[in-house]
Amino acid sequence: MNPAVSDFRAPADWAPDSWQRRVALQQPHYDDADELAAAGAHLAQLPPLVTSWEVLALKQALAEAQQGGRFLLQGGDCAESFADCTSPVISNRLKVLLQMSLVLVHGLKKPVLRVGRFAGQYAKPRSADHETRDGVCLPSFRGDLVNGPEFTAAARRPDPQRMIRAHAHSALTMNFVRALIDGGFADLHHPEYWDLAWVEHSPLAAEYRQMVAAIGDSLRFMETLAGPIAGFSKVDFFTSHEALLLHYEQALTRQVPRHPGWFNLSTHFPWIGMRTAALDGAHVEYFRGIRNPVAVKVGPSVTPDQLLPLIDALNPDDEPGRLTLIHRMGHAQIAQALPPLLEAVRREGRRVLWVADPMHGNTESTSNGYKTRRFKNIRGELEQAFDIHAAAGTRLGGVHLELTGEDVTECVGGARGLTEADLARAYKSMVDPRLNYEQSLELAMLIVRKSVNGHG
Ligand code: PEP
Ligand code: CO
């Protein structure tokens, strides 16, 4: 079955707003229903951010990844912010993702499917609805899509107009990404455009340069034989975000002229976060009716008895490319938590793409009050993931990472040996700690070593 021609239609009892009949976790409490309705109606009139044919092309590519023909690289900020919707932040993030994909293509010898956590990653789940400081209790910050991070009553009030601003910032981001790619930003003939000044200091710079030179040589060799290869100057880039705020997602859920069914056109590839993946919850209800490829985060407490019904709900026809499972277990738990899930899905013969998120199970707080992740734990979870899949006879088809192209100090360790004391220097994340540029490239190289040689 080709996903592009599948006759998937929404179930008869589904509608873009049928999620409202279920319990929706992690939603803000808007205090003015009319204001919310007006913002939703406005948003529903605005143009979409992506198109149905792009969404179906991605589903086809994910189907190929399920077969082992592609490797998924999904990455970006934990939370985008309106303030970071700037040229350097967007272009540096795109650069690091492209450079990582170059490392992966070269090492894995297969096409890499690039998906950004951007152009819509503006909503965050929180462990508490409220935050109290010095006796003052205010709603928690839930991402720029919902409210502001400043600790004032005005900033923390959930404001439906932010959905319009988030849509606009996503469109600005998307427009710049598309323009950079169309303009040859990713041109393999000019790898020098890809260099960021401070790669100079990286212990991996020599290895990286050697690889870029090897790719240039192969390209020149091919072109000597076959003439100019136009396709090499362009790359595909898809977008993804956690589809958490369902009023926003609903307003961008559309029907289009030539493809049946409903598409979420706020992003190519929405995912359900770990905290909102209950089978009878509003998020699963919303997701089951859209035609996009979808992903679900799977944490260490999920049992096979919970996972199999979720797969049935989200992909009842076992459509290729439709469902990705992103496991995020933690380095200390993956060896115990993952094998039963792999075994159950394999036994039932269900078609999924398995992807590893080695970030979210490895978050910890330092003694000096920072939220961080240790590079060795991120690497440890990823390496175990490859081994566990190999032992189970399943395939790890991709990685999901929180990273930035900026030179931040948020995760400790890596080739440069960042310490806890370094965290104060350039800690910028609004929510979770991200790999910086060097740590991201190092991880891409380690993925290649691990998956090609079976050891790190
Ligand atoms: C995230 O991806 O930023 C996130 C909140 O992840 P999870 O749902 O896996 O905790
Ligand atoms: Co995060």
Q: Are the CB atoms for 246 and 288 separated by under 8 Å?
A: no
Which residue, among 122, 123, 120, has the nearest Cα to 173 in the 3D structure? 120
pLDDT tens-digit profile of 172-231? Answer: 999 999 999 887 776 666 666 666 555 666 777 787 778 778 877 887 887 888 777 666
**Is residue 277 over pLDDT 90?**
yes
pLDDT tens-digit profile of 43-66? Answer: 999 999 999 999 999 999 999 999
Burial class (CB within 10 angstroms; exposed 0-12, middle 13-18, buried 19+) of 16? buried
For residue 299, give the ligand 1 atom closest to its CA.
9
The closest ligand to the CA of 271 turns out to be 1
Burial class (CB within 10 angstroms; exposed 0-12, middle 13-18, buried 19+) of 179? exposed
β-bridge partners, 240: 269
For ligand 1, pick from 81, 360, 400 the residue to mutate: most ligand atoms within 8 Å of CB.
360
Q: Tell me how far the alpha carbon of residue 292 lies from the centroid of ligand 1, in angstroms.
A: 20
Q: Tell me how far the alpha carbon of residue 274 lies from the centroid of ligand 1, in angstroms.
A: 6
Pocket of ligand 1 (CB under 6 A): 78, 125, 242, 273-275, 297, 328, 360, 432
DSSP string, 290-333: B-S-EEEEE-TT--HHHHHHHHHHH-TT--TTSEEEEE---TTT
What total number of domains does the chain contain?
1
Q: Is the dihedral of CA 180, 184, 188, 194 positive or negative?
A: negative
Burial class (CB within 10 angstroms; exposed 0-12, middle 13-18, buried 19+) of 46? middle
CATH of the domain at 169: 3.20.20.70
Residue entry with tokens 């880039």: 237
pLDDT for 182 equals 82
pLDDT for 210 equals 82
**Is residue 105 over pLDDT 70?**
yes
**Is residue 5 over pLDDT 70?**
no
pLDDT for 216 equals 78
**Is residue 296 over pLDDT 90?**
yes
**Is residue 233 over pLDDT 80?**
no
Length of the chain: 456
pLDDT for 219 equals 77
Q: Tell me how far the alpha carbon of residue 4 lies from the centroid of ligand 2, in angstroms.
A: 31
pLDDT tens-digit profile of 375-422? Answer: 999 999 999 999 999 999 999 999 999 999 888 999 999 888 899 999
Q: H helices of 46-86, where?
A: 52-66
The closest ligand to the CA of 142 turns out to be 1
pLDDT tens-digit profile of 246-270? Answer: 999 999 999 999 999 999 999 999 9
**Is residue 8 over pLDDT 80?**
no
Read off the pLDDT of each residue in 279-304 and give the average, rounded to a whole number: 98
The closest ligand to the CA of 326 turns out to be 1
**Is residue 243 over pLDDT 70?**
yes
DSSP string, 393-436: T--EEEEEEEB-SS----SBBTTTTB-GGGGGTS---SSS--B-
User: Of all residues in the chain, what percent carry a pLDDT higher than 90?
Assistant: 76
Phi and psi torsions of 375, nearest 5°: -55, -40
Structural domain containing residue 315: 3-455
N- to C-terminal Cα separation, the chain: 37
Report residue 39 CA to chain centroid gap.
26
Pairwise CA distance, residues 172 & 48, whole Å: 12
Task: List strand residue ranges (DSSP E) for 77-218, in order.
Answer: 112-117, 130-133, 136-139
Read off the pLDDT of each residue in 139-162 and give the average, rounded to a whole number: 98
* Residues of the chain by 3-state class (helix, strand, coil), percent to 5: 45, 15, 40
Which amino acid, one-letter code, is at 295? A
Mean pLDDT (the chain, rounded): 92
For residue 275, give the ligand 1 atom closest to its CA.
8
Phi and psi torsions of 399, nearest 5°: -130, 150
Burial class (CB within 10 angstroms; exposed 0-12, middle 13-18, buried 19+) of 424? exposed
Pairwise CA distance, residues 36 & 354, whole Å: 37
Q: Tell me how far the alpha carbon of residue 118 lies from the centroid of ligand 1, in angstroms.
A: 14
CA-CA-CA-CA torsion for 78, 82, 87, 90, nearest 10 degrees? 20
For residue 432, give the ligand 1 atom closest to its CA.
3
Which has more pLDDT, 454 or 47?
47
Read off the pLDDT of each residue in 427-442 and give the average, rounded to a whole number: 91
Question: Among 40-54, 80-94, 201-215, 292-306, which is the least confidently predicted range?
Answer: 201-215
Which amino acid, one-letter code, is at 237? F
The closest ligand to the CA of 433 turns out to be 2
β-bridge partners, 355: 326
Q: Are the CB atoms for 355 and 112 separated by under 8 Å?
A: no
Residue nearest to atom 1 of ligand 1 (CA): 78
Which amino acid, one-letter code, is at 293? P
